[in-house]
């Protein structure tokens, strides 16, 4: 029905691979520009499962790895620099954190979550050295959220499509894998935006997509707007429809890491329409079956598609 991330990792590394979240004592440029960051973001960012940033990178990885090894008999791991913007620091400091992760046993990949306006060649040159020296794959997670530039401005994203395209083109030169985060139910977006997002990511040949259903942290600006009635959120049924069409238009080569947000209830004033993510997944797959959809079933718009249609007349 769609390409699943866990199966992609198993094919790549020969067995199941587990992510180890890392929390650094850093922030985000979008929080330092006077706007307070993206309107959907909480004060603590997204590192709900990570240890305190007061612990060293090595300590975070070793302690979390020990738990997962015992529970799942795990052998291979990804060091996941998850929270905030993990290239928003000096190159020397960035080097020290990455070296620390690379020297932890059984790390096969380093995943770096960051913003498209925080990608520089010098950092990528260093990561290429790490990949060569330690034989560890480098993976980037870039937050885009939507291709609607009006929405990007409204949520104070702090960048547009141009910055994202430039970051992808630069990272692509090094052969690192790229995952893009998307939210298909941001206020102001429509079904057409979801479809255009799928086309945009397919045209850029993104490797992986991580989809998030919008949740509202209790202390976020977006929740204040929701509570005041200045924004509305689409229904669960509308989100599932957008998700189905997104996957239908998405290249079948792109891997799907996530379909719905997974956030502890105590952090969110609104999340997943009060439904568990696994129940939403069941409903979504039922919808895909009803529509007779599989990922990429409408992927017929690139590589001179209009010319092909003309020649078929």
Residue 140 predicted with pLDDT over 70: yes
pLDDT score for 33: 61
Residue 37 predicted with pLDDT over 90: no
State the residue for tokens 């090595």: 58
pLDDT score for 266: 77
Residue 85: name the closest of 33, 129, 134 by CA. Answer: 33
pLDDT category at 311 given cuts 50, 70, 90 is low
Q: What proportion of the chain, given as a percentage, has pLDDT over 70?
A: 95
pLDDT digits (tens, 9 = 90+) for 12-29: 999 999 999 999 999 888
Residue 46 predicted with pLDDT over 90: no
pLDDT category at 64 given cuts 50, 70, 90 is very high
Across 286-313, average pLDDT: 90
The token pair at 149 is 């530039």
pLDDT score for 181: 97
Determine which of 47-51, 126-130, 208-212, 221-225 has the lowest per-residue pLDDT on average: 47-51
φ, ψ of residue 210 to 5 degrees: the values are -115, 110
The 3-state secondary structure of the chain reads CCCEHHHHHHHHHCCCEEEEEECCCCCCHHHCCCCCCCCCCCCCCCCCCCCCCCCCHHHHHHHHHHHHHHHHCCCEEEEEECCCCCCCCCHHHHHHHHHHHHCCCCEEEEEEEECHHHCCHHHHHHHHHHHHHHCCEEEEEEEEECCCHHHHHHCCCCCCHHHHHHHHHHHHCCCCEEEEEEECCCCCCCHHHHHHHHHHHHHCCCCEEEEECCCEECCCHHHHHHHCCCCCCCCHHHHHHHHHHHHHHCCCCCEEEECCCCCCHHHEEECHHHCCHHHHHHHHHHHHHHHCCCCCCCCCCCCCHHHHHHHCC
pLDDT digits (tens, 9 = 90+) for 237-257: 999 999 999 999 999 999 999
Cα 303-309-313 angle, rounded to 5 deg: 155
Across 249-271, average pLDDT: 91
Residue 308 predicted with pLDDT over 90: no
Q: What proportion of the chain, given as a percentage, has pLDDT over 90?
A: 81
pLDDT category at 52 given cuts 50, 70, 90 is confident
pLDDT category at 63 given cuts 50, 70, 90 is very high
Across 71-92, average pLDDT: 95
pLDDT score for 255: 98
pLDDT score for 44: 58
What is the average pLDDT value for the chain, to the nearest integer?
93
Across 84-98, average pLDDT: 96
Q: In angstroms, rounded to a whole number, what is the distance separating the alpha carbons of residues 108 and 97? A: 16
pTM of this structure: 0.94
């Amino acid at each position: 029905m769609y390409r699943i991330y866990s199966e992609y990792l198993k094919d790549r590394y020969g067995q199941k691979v587990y992510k180890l979240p890392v929390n650094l004592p850093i922030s985000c440029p979008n929080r330092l520009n006077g706007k307070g960051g993206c309107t959907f973001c909480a004060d603590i960012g997204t590192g709900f499962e990570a240890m305190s940033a007061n612990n060293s990178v090595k300590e975070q990885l070793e302690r979390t790895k020990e738990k997962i090894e015992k529970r799942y008999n795990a052998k291979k791991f990804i060091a996941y620099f998850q929270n905030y913007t993990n290239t928003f620091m000096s190159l020397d400091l960035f080097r020290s954190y990455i070296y620390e992760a690379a020297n932890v046993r059984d790390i096969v990949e380093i995943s770096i979550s960051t913003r498209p306006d925080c990608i520089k060649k010098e950092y990528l040159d260093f990561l290429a050295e790490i990949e060569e020296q330690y034989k560890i794959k480098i993976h980037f997670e870039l937050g885009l959220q939507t291709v609607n530039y009006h929405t990007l401005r409204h949520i104070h994203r702090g960048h547009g499509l141009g910055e994202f395209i430039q970051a992808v083109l630069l990272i692509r030169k090094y052969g690192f894998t790229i995952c893009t985060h998307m939210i298909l139910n941001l206020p102001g977006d429509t079904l057409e935006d979801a479809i255009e997002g799928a086309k945009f990511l397919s045209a850029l040949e993104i490797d992986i997509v991580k989809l998030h259903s919008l949740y509202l942290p209790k202390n976020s600006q977006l929740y204040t707007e929701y509570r005041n009635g200045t924004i509305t959120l689409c229904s669960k049924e509308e989100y599932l429809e957008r998700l189905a069409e997104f996957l239908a238009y998405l290249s079948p080569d792109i891997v799907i890491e996530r379909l719905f947000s997974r956030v502890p209830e105590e952090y969110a004033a609104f999340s997943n329409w009060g439904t568990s993510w696994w129940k939403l997944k069941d409903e979504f797959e039922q919808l895909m079956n009803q529509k007779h959809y599989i990922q990429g079933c409408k992927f017929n718009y690139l590589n001179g598609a209009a010319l092909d249609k003309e020649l078929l007349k």
